[in-house]
Structure 1
Amino acid sequence: MTPRADHLTVEVVDLIGTVVARYHEEYEHAASQHSLTGAQARVLGLLAAQPLPMRRIAQRLKCEPSNITGIVDRLESRGLVERRPDPADRRVKLAAPTDEGRRTAEALRGSLNFAREPLGRLTVAERTLLKELLQRMLGTAPE
C-alpha cells in the first residue's frame, strides 16, 4: 500500500469511528427516552424485524445468550416482548415483540436523527453508492 493510500485508509477508519461513536451516543439517548438501555433497545429493534430465538439474538449482537435472557426478561416484564414456541420446532422459544414493543421500536427508530440531516444532503445516487460500499465492506452486498 502506498503512503497516500495508507493515509487515506487511516482517515476513512477515523471517520467510520466518529460515525459509530455518534450513532451509539444517539442510540443510547433515544433508548433512555423510552426508559430502555441501549442493549434493550437493540434487542427490541432486532425483534421488531422478526421474532428470534435467544441464541440467534446473542449471535447477532455478539454476546452471551445468558445476557440476552436477562434483557428479554426485562423487556417481557414491561410488556414489550413475549416468548412463544417456534412453529418450526416447539422445543425452541422465540422472543417476539408485542404490539407495544413494535410501537416502541418504531418510535425509537424514528427518533434516531443524527444521520438523517447529513444523509439528506447526499443525493440518492450518493446514498445508494454509500450503502453499496458499506455492504461490500461487510461482505453483505447482493450478488
Structure 2
Amino acid sequence: MTRSNGRQETIDLLMGLSHALSTNFNTVAGELGVSALHARALFNLDQPAAMRDLAATLHCDKSHVTGIADGLESRGLVTREPDPRDRRVKQLVLTTEGRRLRTELRRRLVDDAPVLSRLTADEETQLRGLLRAAFERHTEENGGGPGCG
C-alpha cells in the first residue's frame, strides 16, 4: 500500500468515526432535550467559566457564546454570576439541573461510547496518543480546532 493510499484510508476511517461520534452525540443530545451546541457547552462546563473561556474551549467567537449562554440560562441549566476575581466578568455556573444533565451527557457519551467500546484499554491509549499528536501538530501550525456549531 502506498503512503497516498494509506493516507486515504486513514482519512476515510477518521471521517467515518467522526460521523459516528457526531451522530451519537446529536442523538443523545436530542434524547435529553437539548441542541447539540448546548450539549457541547454543558459537556465542557466542568467548573464555573467565563464566557470567553468557554468560547476558547468550544473554538468559537465570543459573540456566539452569548447566544449559547442565553439558551442555557432560559432552560435553567446555567446562571450568570460575577467572577470573584473580576466582578466585571460574568461566569457561567451550572445549576442543579445543569449538573444533572451534564452528568447524564457524560455517562452516555463517554462511559457508554459505542465507537470505542470494543477497543481494549491498550488500543484506546494508543489511539488517543496518535490523535493527540496529530491534533497538537495541526493546532501548532493552524492555530485552533473545530469551530462552534
Q: How does 1:1-143 map to 2 (within 5 A)?
A: 4-47=2-45, 49-112=46-109, 116-139=113-136
**1:120 Cα deviation from its structure 2 partner:** 3.1
CA–CA distance in 2 between the matches of 1:32 and 1:122?
Answer: 26
Q: CA RMSD, aligned part only?
A: 2.1
Report the Cα offset of residue 118 of structure 1: 4.7
Unpaired segments ≥5 residues, structure 2: 138-149
2:17–2:115: 8 Å Cα contact kept in structure 1? no
* Structure-2 separation of matches of 1:28 and 1:119: 17
TM-score by length of 2: 0.81
Question: How far apart are 1:90 and its partner, in Å?
Answer: 1.6
1:117 Cα deviation after fit = 4.2
- Unaligned 5+ runs, structure 1: none
- Count residues with an aligned counterpart: 137
How far did 1:35 drift?
Answer: 1.4
Deviation of 1:119 after TM superposition, in Å, equals: 2.5
The DSSP-based 3-state class of the residue aligned with 1:90 is strand
Paired amino acid for 1:60: T
| % identity of equivalent residues | 39
Measure the CA separation in 1 of the matches of 2:135 and 2:43: 20
User: What is the Cα deviation at residue 98 of structure 1?
Assistant: 1.2
For residues 31-52 of structure 1, what are the alpha-carbon distances to aligned partners after superposition, in whole Å with 9 as ceiling and x for unaligned?
Answer: 11121110010011111x1222
**Hey, what's the Cα distance between the residues in 2 that align with 1:5 and 1:130?**
19
CA contact (8 A) 2:81 2:92 kept: yes
4+ long deviations beyond 4 Å: none
Partners of 1:99 and 1:70 in 2: how far apart? 21
